[in-house]
A = this chain, B = another copy of it.
Amino acid sequence: MASDEVEGTSPLPHADEHITLIGLGAIGVSFLALHLTYSSATVSVYDPRPDLEEHIQAVLPLYLPSSVDVASLISVGRLNLCASLEEACLAATIVQEQGPENVGFKQKTWSEVIRYVAPTCHLWSSTSGIPASKQLEHLSTTDDKHLEYPPTTDDIQASSARQRLLIVHPFNPPHIMPLLELVPSPHTTPAEVSFAKSYFTALRSGHRPITIHRESAGFVANRLSFILFREACHLVNEGVASAEEIDEVVRASLGPRWAMAGPFKMYGFGGGNKGLRGFLDNIGESIGEVWRDAGTITMDDDAWKDKVVEQTTQAYGLPSAEDIRVRDGGLRAVVKAQEEQERVARHGGGQGGQ
């Protein structure tokens, strides 16, 4: 994950930050590993699951460098397992939430958090789909530009929270996948977006925070993924190819291609010396034909679901721990190939320059 610059010469960043992690499931433990490995921030965690300590002891070491020991992180006070949300929030400069994906949980959590933390605390949610504006919609004011005079303490708190909350949407598993979609609400201040961006950039973990300008269902990555998935399900449903064949097609073509360059850059290449305009002029008709012919299955229909579930289960069985391990090793290798590609692009691959 690290860049090609000299490492180990400067201390890890963020010694003054105190991060509160709420929810230590798949995403939470992975973020925990990221913060512990690449920053020197203190981390307090809260999750009401009764097996929290065993869970962290079991999973966290798989994500940490082998030189780092969980027990000693706890004994030196870099990692605190807390019995209540209030305790976890005590010294927080950043609260990062990855609890259950439902509006009720998110709203209730923020109502409590903003009572416990300082009014400057950064508020981040890992949600895959609940925009920041929705997560604070329940608070007393709905428009912080038109506070009643004199404002109540609740009003001030709500308005301030709305300015500080943004989505920091990771891609699973966050300790490996470089993407972080930063999605502010219309109320979030630009300074909060900048802070989140600089936090992750300073980690030098290879993470790539990208700011999304407007809230939209699925943000960007999941949105594109779900839309490709719809067509893939349609093709299975129509018998054009099986689920496994479609997976093989994607793995042998679009995956490697988009790991190297996104759709705009890649199709810009496709237009030769006329760039993307040339591509659209040459191939536009074929693209239009596909768009007109695209599948329109819906989630209300069960027939296609049965087909794709059956074919997928048949092809792969249920995922094993070993499957996940192989996947993660592969993901690391691709991310490394990307970093090498960037290095070559910057330095001209031994031909000097830059």
Q: Give residues in A with beta carbon < 8 Å to B.
A: 128-129, 171-172, 177-179, 181, 208, 210-214, 216-218, 220-232, 235, 238-241, 243-265, 267-270, 272-277, 280, 283-291, 293-294, 298-300, 305, 308-309, 311-313, 315-316, 318-319, 322-327, 329-331, 333-338, 340-341, 344-345, 348-349
Contacts and interface: CB of A to CB of B under 8 A. Distances in A.
B293 A323 contact: no
Top 7 nearest A-B pairs (CB, nearest first) are A247-B262, A255-B258, A255-B259, A288-B299, A333-B337, A179-B252, A330-B341
Given A221-B250, A259-B255, A264-B243, A226 B287 contact: yes
30 contacts: A128-B283, A177-B252, A210-B245, A214-B239, A214-B240, A216-B238, A217-B286, A217-B289, A218-B289, A218-B290, A220-B245, A224-B254, A227-B294, A232-B262, A244-B264, A247-B264, A255-B256, A256-B338, A259-B334, A261-B327, A264-B311, A264-B312, A268-B312, A277-B313, A288-B298, A288-B299, A291-B299, A329-B341, A330-B337, A337-B337
Contacts of A259: 251, 255-256, 258-259, 330, 334
B285 A265 contact: no
For chain A, what secondary structure do more than half of its interface residues adopt (helix, strand, loop), or is it mixed?
helix
Contact of A277 (B223, B280, B309, B333): B309
Given A329-B344, A337-B333, A179 B253 contact: yes
B308 A329 contact: no
A229 B287 contact: yes
Most chain B CB within a 10 A radius of its CB, from A128, A280, A348: A280
A300 B275 CA distance: 19
B210 A224 contact: no
Contacts of A231: 223-224, 227
A325 to B, nearest CB: 8
B338 A337 contact: no
A309 B323 CA distance: 40
Contacts of A257: 171, 177, 255, 331
Nearest to A324: B269
A93 to B, nearest CB: 26
B330 A253 contact: no
Contact of A341 (B261, B324, B326): B326
Contacts of A229: 263, 267, 287
Given A243-B264, A285-B299, 15 more contacts: A179-B252, A216-B240, A223-B231, A228-B263, A229-B267, A249-B262, A255-B260, A256-B338, A259-B334, A260-B327, A260-B331, A288-B300, A325-B349, A329-B349, A334-B337
A220 B249 contact: yes
A223 to B, nearest CB: 5
Contacts of A262: 232, 246-251, 255
A68 to B, nearest CB: 22
